[in-house]
Structure 1
């Protein structure tokens, strides 16, 4: 998975085929994913060449269209009197194939207002896949001519490459059992779903330096994805897999902050303070995370534990957790 040059558009998946980087699918929670009906070309055995992915400023006018690839060009037909709304037409071979109004200079304009997208059916299998996206920075209505500045262009070929169904797969979007951790991607190998990457909408992505194992041709077995409530005490550790256990060392006098240590095979490998009992604390404040290098992927979250509440007692301290995530620290190569 890699981000668009214009990062606000989200991310996309590519496949390396005979040394060429080819578009495979739009990643979830991104503007171009939301603008497409079908988002994954590999489901029907197709890929597409990436023609343009840039963030360079370009100015074009009502007399000089914005030139794209494969015979497409985007032309300004008119700009309203306030200079906010731009009526554009997409042409191919001199014929108009699409038209739209974008509003780059309107006060409060969002990404949708500023982005022109063009979708087509690719190969008769995928419906309404975005093949062209242009992000408008601003617009201006002049006395002699109108002009607009764009600062992001994306284009893939409208002639897909046939690869055969099942020959190439892209990771699939999944929900954590703990909803406020966001999402992650899995990839099937030998009939089992393996962890592939963290989606960029949650704290486990934010904590990981390199959240995508696929970029390093790695996958990892999912050991825990559990939203069940469990209580453990200062005298009884929370047992995890692969020799790990999480122990409560102390809880502050208010019963809000928990000092925990992570042990592997009886040896302390990490320690952290968690705001387990703080009212209104964000998910990342109530989540213990442990990261480690996996192959060439640096600082990937392999363990996450979400604390629901904590209690300081006279004889022992205790905490209730309601989310555990663990992936194997020994990845497989793909």
Structure 2
């Protein structure tokens, strides 16, 4: 059953196709990848800056989650922890994980899950069986729901310290933990308030593209903040990040210099970006492209790459970058270790120098019969030709720019503050958004505000492609 059906009348429940008034905020449930498992997802909803997990069970799809029965997300981490026999790991909010006993010969670890020092559950995890290396903790009677997943733990290995042929201690390595605050889960009902927002509608999930929503009404007005966030390149071979900002459904790159050439291919620290000087993101792709000599690859917006020459014996290729058929730059890209990339820098982009506008990752050059082939596995591109500089008072749709906040450090990358003068109520949310879902609403002209984020950690063996979003109609 769905929670919305349990707590609302027919008049209160709607499909997402319903027209939502432009004086409401719509908080959408979206699928989110666990940090350590790229092909498994969990539902998440951002309520005005706090991430919650709609309760879901072991045998349901993500869109079957109970959108109005929420547990706060405490932890989604791929940080590595090594615990000795009897050692406890504090997970926050009173939750803890203890290594009760470790058996190296049997490749097993006995783990216990507690809350405020009281036993909740335990499991013996066997390392040599892939199916058992992740422990899913499921509990009953969480806001009336059974078989609710409240914690996931991934065990990587068991080992020990041996000195003089004597085992000094055994330990277990844990490299993935996901946890919700199930003991403090809440059941939202129509009319409930969160701050200045009142819940008006609960929308059930239908499929992977429509996972349900909570619709709130805001009776007061205050500015909207669009925050710059660190974003991982989709191509894993670039371990650094670039800044990005989502302006009402469109993803932009705040111009960032590469002033220190010794950092190549890395840029200056992302918080030094010019938050008010923006170029639209054209492409961030890890798609594989195989190109012959003379072949062109259309990148969109009039930009293209052309393979001018391939030297298989020299493990290199000459690649040219064009805009509207006109030469922009070229480079000889080697496929030797640490030489696979090309970062194209341009000057005088809205007055800034050494701005990276294109990144290309070439993984291989080889012969296919008589044809030389270049394998391109990563492309990142901004529309630098149409970059713009925003100023106080500039308007984007019905939003007026009120404040430009420069970045300070990796936790505060800067922001743009807008005010919507056409209606009485606004919203202010720090939020994470997905490119994949950026086309999920077509009401941009009605003032859709959407903010974006990706993970802020370097890629690991457990790849986290974490995307989520809130849509607010104002």
Shorter chain as denominator, the TM-score bin is 0.3 to 0.5
Higher relative contact order (CA 8 A, sep 6+): 2
Give the TM-score normalised by the residue count of structure 1: 0.47
